[in-house]
Each structure stands twice: as structure tokens, then as C-alpha cells.
Amino acid sequence: MSAHRILVTCPPMLGMLEAFVAPAQELGLELVPAEVTQTLSEAELIELLPQFDGWIIGDDPATQQVFEAGKRGSLKAAVKWGIGVDNVDFKACEALGIPIINTPGMFGGEVADVAVGYVIALARHTVEIDRGVRAGSWPKPRGLSLAGRTVAVLGYGDIGRNTARRLLAADMAVIAYDPFVDPSSLEAGVSLAAWPERLGEADFVVVNCALTASSHHMLNAAAFAAMNPGVRVVNVGRGPVIDEQALIAALASGQVHSAALDVFEQEPLPLDSPLRSHQACIFGSHNASNTVDGVERTSHKAIQLLAEFLQEPTA
């Protein structure tokens, strides 16, 4: 029996694809890499996907039209690599009879490491100092001590919980915002609040939550106005959780001191984005989960799940 052909469009997995070819072959899968930097377009996917039996999805526009095109061809199953599913039309898959699942709980620690790294960098101006030294100066900006400061953590799932643990270890107070969390499951030292109550207490705001209808532009002009003046903002969740125009205005007024953003409303960040003019800000490339360990763990899981979907029915 010939192997099932699998389209891989997830950049972190593509960066280590050679490590997964043999394990996939053992499960009857042939991994085919897409030529992609961040995402393929809907038009590109509509043309490409029908040639494949399975799809390991990154942050591509996995829309109804894309899945319909795949269904007209060979597509039989798909797996969303990672946690976020805001780019995937799961209802369309259900209607079309295409099995699909994501891979939650794979790299909460990895993303939390980056979130805390951003908190420290904003508090102590480490990136600003690095830029200055490289430019030939010797800057000594006065930073903030972490101990005794308060952090608002938006989203208390795998990433949020791991973030809170690390911040608690730095002797920080943590306020968690998550309408779905069981209060009895909170780490000792974490208090739960309803959004946007107590937001003015936070010296830092860390966004970990998924993008949903309710979280879209959760950090808007009203939210920034309710924050402590000079607050520092971190986003390792999804870009559209923050209204970037409102953030730009809050940075310009000084209401927000600085921001560390691993994700954006439009990715890659446009060259003409006003965010680029704020030298105290730090930018990532939607890369917080990308470690050797995390990619191996998540990719093997995605391959296993897809192989199970594509197994021939037994008599």
C-alpha cells in the first residue's frame, strides 16, 4: 500500500522536518514540505491541498473554501499543529466529514519561558541596553524590581499556569483572568478576577489567551485607560487580542510604558507599522513555542494523530 501524502505547512515543524520523515514513514505517511515562511494564502491552499491525503496545519487560513477544495481532491484528515485554532474552520470539517484535531498542552512551558523573559526585558531594559552598547554608547536606564510587583495574566490554561508559576517564583503577585478556570485549581498566590476588575493594580499585563470572539480586541482603548499608568504589556497569545491602534495611542501618551509582542494583528509586522517607532518595545516573530524539545514533542504528536485518522478500517 502506498503511503499517505501529507502536506506540512507549519514553519517550526518544517525547520526540523528531516527528523520526522522516518517516524512518519513507519506509520505510512509521506511528509511533503510546503514552501512557506509564515503562512500560505487561501488561493495557494485551494490549489495545493487537493493533492494530499492529510494536512498538518500551521497558522494558515484553513477556511471552509480550503477544506471544500481538499475534499474534492484526496484530503481525508487534518491536524492543527499546536494550540491555537482561531485560523481553522472546525465546523466546516465536521460538515464535510474531515476528521481534525489540534495538539493542546504541548509547549506551555516553552511559551511561558518567553513570556517571563519579556517581563524581565521590559522591567530591566535589557534589549534597550543591548542596542545602545552595539551602537557605541553605554546606557544605564533605571529599571523595575520584579519582587512585589503585580502581573495580570490573561488566560489561565497551560501557558498561563506555567507563566504564573514562574512569576510567583520571582516574588510577584499574580491576578488571573479566565472565565473558564476552576478557582480551586489556582496556584497558591494567584488570585482570580473578572475582566477588567483590578486591572489598575497591574504593573505588567501578560496575554496568554487564545483568540475567540470574546477575546478579540480584549485590550482596547478602554482597557488601556483602566490600567496603571506606565504599565508594561506582553503578548505571547494571539495578535488580535490587542487592538494595535489602541496600543499605539497608549504608547504615544505614556499610559503604556512599553510592550513586548511575539504576535501581531498582521504577520509579519508591516514595515510601516507605527509600533516600530517605539524603541522601548520588543518584538518577536510568533516564535515562542519554537524549541527543539517543543517542536519534537508536538510534531510527533501531530504525526501520530494523523496516522490514526488515516488508518485503513479493519475488517
Q: Is the pLDDT of residue 93 over 50?
A: yes
Tell me how many domains the chain contains. 2
Q: Could you say which DSSP state residue 53 is in?
A: S
**Are residues 84 and 189 located together in one domain of the fold?**
no
2: left (phi over 0), alpha (psi -120 to 50) or beta: beta
**Are residues 171 and 94 located together in one domain of the fold?**
no
**Are residues 251 and 114 located together in one domain of the fold?**
yes
**Are residues 78 and 155 located together in one domain of the fold?**
no
| Given 187, 201, 267, 296, the catalytic residue | 267
**Residues forming beta bridges with residue 154, ordered by sequence position:** 177, 207
Does a cis peptide bond (omega within 30 degrees of 0) precede residue 196?
yes
**Are residues 64 and 134 located together in one domain of the fold?**
no
Does a cis peptide bond (omega within 30 degrees of 0) precede residue 268?
yes
**Are residues 93 and 154 located together in one domain of the fold?**
no
When pLDDT is averaged across residues 15-24 and rounded to a whole number, the result is: 97
**Are residues 96 and 132 located together in one domain of the fold?**
no
**Are residues 98 and 113 located together in one domain of the fold?**
no
When pLDDT is averaged across residues 82-94 and rounded to a whole number, the result is: 94
User: Would 123 be classed as within a structural domain?
Assistant: yes
CB 62 within 8 A of CB 85: no
Q: Is the pLDDT of residue 24 over 90?
A: yes
What values do phi and psi take at 240, rounded to 5?
-70, 0
| Given 4, 125, 161, 238, the catalytic residue | 238
User: Would 166 be classed as within a structural domain?
Assistant: yes
Determine whether 276 is an active site residue: no
| pLDDT tens-digit map of 282-307 | 999 999 999 999 999 999 999 999 99
**Are residues 82 and 37 located together in one domain of the fold?**
yes
User: Would 315 be classed as within a structural domain?
Assistant: no
**Are residues 114 and 176 located together in one domain of the fold?**
yes
CATH number of the domain at 303, please: 3.40.50.720
Determine whether 296 is an active site residue: no
- Here the cell at position 125 is 531594559
Query: Which residues form the domain of 218?
Result: 108-283
Provide the pLDDT for residue 313: 55
Provide the pLDDT for residue 37: 77
User: Would 161 be classed as within a structural domain?
Assistant: yes
User: Would 45 be classed as within a structural domain?
Assistant: yes
**Are residues 123 and 272 located together in one domain of the fold?**
yes
Determine whether 201 is an active site residue: no
When pLDDT is averaged across residues 66-85 and rounded to a whole number, the result is: 96
Q: What is the reported pTM? A: 0.91
Q: Is the pLDDT of residue 314 over 70?
A: no
Provide the pLDDT for residue 226: 98
CB 303 within 8 A of CB 283: no
User: Would 118 be classed as within a structural domain?
Assistant: yes
**Are residues 205 and 304 located together in one domain of the fold?**
no
User: Would 95 be classed as within a structural domain?
Assistant: yes
| Given 232, 257, 278, 286, the catalytic residue | 286
* H-helix or E-strand spanning residue 295: helix 292-310
The residue ranges of DSSP E strands in 122-249, in sequence order, are: 150-154, 173-177, 190-192, 204-207, 231-235
User: Would 197 be classed as within a structural domain?
Assistant: yes
Provide the pLDDT for residue 315: 36
